[in-house]
Chain A
Amino acid sequence: MKRKRMLSFAAVVAGFALYFSLNEPNTAYAMHIMEGFLPVGWAVFWWVLFLPFFLMGLRSLKRLTKEQPETKLLLGLAGAFAFVLSALKIPSVTGSSSHPTGTGLGAVLFGPLAMTVLGSFVLLFQAVLLAHGGLTTLGANAFSMAVVGPFVAYSVYRLTVRSTGKQRLAVFLAAALADMATYVVTSLQLALAFPAASGGVLASFAKFAGIFAVTQIPLAISEGLLTVLVWNWLMVYNRQELNTLQSIKRGA
């Protein structure tokens, strides 16, 4: 057992060494789409796609706080986690910085729709006060970070728990893959709006996603680990609420 662990640890270290040494530094664009940088048609398109999820999210939050008022603080904690993580611009191997999303934790705890609302608030705050992201592009950014991310997190968590029964592994994978998925969708959104002159959407997507994915890999791992950190705290002090939430979700 111990040997196996040592071996897998060595493999991880070797993998990272390879990854860090193979990467050519270049500039990446791994953040939200800036204000005004989606053509009107696409901006409206993503807003229309995003809004129904937001409304369903509001309804899910309302039901949750009505039926389980004691989970309000936990809800605030999940929102605060997204708030903190998306304020941290972390240097990455590509030579530029990007930030994690923090939506995985809340999605695992409360289901994806609740996190749609909380994630949108984070984006709204950054768009209005920090000129980071934007109001016209909020639909697109919220769709990637507050809809796709949480849904990926939730499905990955469910699948992993069902197939392996390992909670921590499931939380880690859920948060890390939600983070990755968010930025893959962002690059898809940019590729759709700005297809390359030769090769069209696919070539453009390859360019955006190639850079995105590479920048985001270490950040996604960090996000997964930090989510497990908070999860560990909650498991020690807060089993009761977690169990109620589990049983609600099973019933739903």
Chain B
Amino acid sequence: MKNSVWKMNVLIILVVAALMVIPLVMIKDSDFGGADGAAEQAVTEMAPEYKPWFEPLFEPPGSETESLLFALQAAFGAGIIGYGIGYYKGRATKRECSDEDSA
């Protein structure tokens, strides 16, 4: 991979990491809770008489199971991305080699 692209990608990862860490460091009195619970509260504020009319068919029994499922989701996706990039890289390298052979 070209050097400049490498540098750019490393920089991107650093900036993204910083964007995640800065709020964690700057805001102390928050547990960074998920929005779902807070949204329930907001709707109850706006419309106190509103009753949800449908319940989730299945709900993870606890936060541990939920985080397992989220981790699986991310791992599954990352696996496919890794496979794809690896496949394309291998193909590109192979093509370069055969170009050199024929030249």
Chain B residues near A37: list those with CB within 8 A.
Answer: 39-40, 43, 52
Which stretch of A130-138, A141-149, A152-160 is in the interface? A130-138
Nearest-neighbor residue (CB-CB) of A172 within chain B: B12
Chain A: minimal CB distance from B11 (Å)? 9
Do the beta carbons of A225 and B15 come within 8 Å of each other?
A: yes
Q: Say which residue of A28, A89, A196, A235 sits within 8 Å of B70 (CB atoms).
A: A89
Do the beta carbons of A25 and B27 come within 8 Å of each other?
A: yes
Determine if A6 is an interface residue (Cβ-Cβ < 8 Å).
Answer: no
A92 to B19, CA, bound (A): 8
Determine if A31 is an interface residue (Cβ-Cβ < 8 Å).
Answer: yes
Determine if A245 is an interface residue (Cβ-Cβ < 8 Å).
Answer: no
Chain B residues near A134: list those with CB within 8 A.
Answer: 54, 56
Band of interface residues on B: 35 or more
User: Knowing A25-B29, A95-B30 touch, does A218 contact B38 (C-beta < 8 A)?
Assistant: no
Chain B residues near A237: list those with CB within 8 A.
Answer: 85, 88-89, 91-92
Chain A residues near B87: list those with CB within 8 A.
Answer: 73
Nearest-neighbor residue (CB-CB) of A212 within chain B: B35
Do the beta carbons of B26 and A88 come within 8 Å of each other?
A: no
Chain A: minimal CB distance from B83 (Å)? 8
Chain B residues near A77: list those with CB within 8 A.
Answer: 80-81, 84-85
As a 0/1 sequence over residues 66 to 88 of chain B, the CB contacts with chain A under 8 angstroms (1 = contact) are: 10011101101111110011011
Do the beta carbons of B33 and A80 come within 8 Å of each other?
A: no
Determine if A51 is an interface residue (Cβ-Cβ < 8 Å).
Answer: no
Interface residues of A in 163-201 (CB under 8 A from B): 190, 194-197
Do the beta carbons of A87 and B77 come within 8 Å of each other?
A: yes
Chain A: minimal CB distance from B18 (Å)? 9
Band of interface residues on A: 35 or more
A181 to B1, CA, bound (A): 34
Interface residues of A in 11-64 (CB under 8 A from B): 16, 20, 25, 27-31, 33-37, 39-40
Determine if A234 is an interface residue (Cβ-Cβ < 8 Å).
Answer: yes
A179 to B12, CA, bound (A): 18
Chain B residues near A88: list those with CB within 8 A.
Answer: 74
Do the beta carbons of B38 and A28 come within 8 Å of each other?
A: yes
Q: Say which residue of B32, B43, B54, B76 sits within 8 Å of A83 (CB atoms).
A: B76
Q: Say which residue of A36, A226, A235 sits within 8 Å of B53 (CB atoms).
A: A36
Do the beta carbons of B23 and A80 come within 8 Å of each other?
A: no
Determine if B36 is an interface residue (Cβ-Cβ < 8 Å).
Answer: yes
Determine if B103 is an interface residue (Cβ-Cβ < 8 Å).
Answer: no
Q: Say which residue of A84, A92, A130 sits within 8 Å of B69 (CB atoms).
A: A130
Chain A: minimal CB distance from B56 (Å)? 4
Q: Say which residue of B5, B23, B50, B60 sits within 8 Å of A39 (CB atoms).
A: B50
Nearest-neighbor residue (CB-CB) of B82 within chain A: A80
Determine if A228 is an interface residue (Cβ-Cβ < 8 Å).
Answer: yes
Determine if A246 is an interface residue (Cβ-Cβ < 8 Å).
Answer: no
A87 to B69, CA, bound (A): 9
Do the beta carbons of B46 and A80 come within 8 Å of each other?
A: no
Determine if A93 is an interface residue (Cβ-Cβ < 8 Å).
Answer: yes
Interface residues of A in 74-98 (CB under 8 A from B): 74, 76-77, 79-84, 86-93, 95-98
- The 8 closest A-B CB pairs, nearest first, are A95-B30, A36-B52, A83-B77, A84-B77, A29-B39, A80-B80, A36-B54, A237-B88
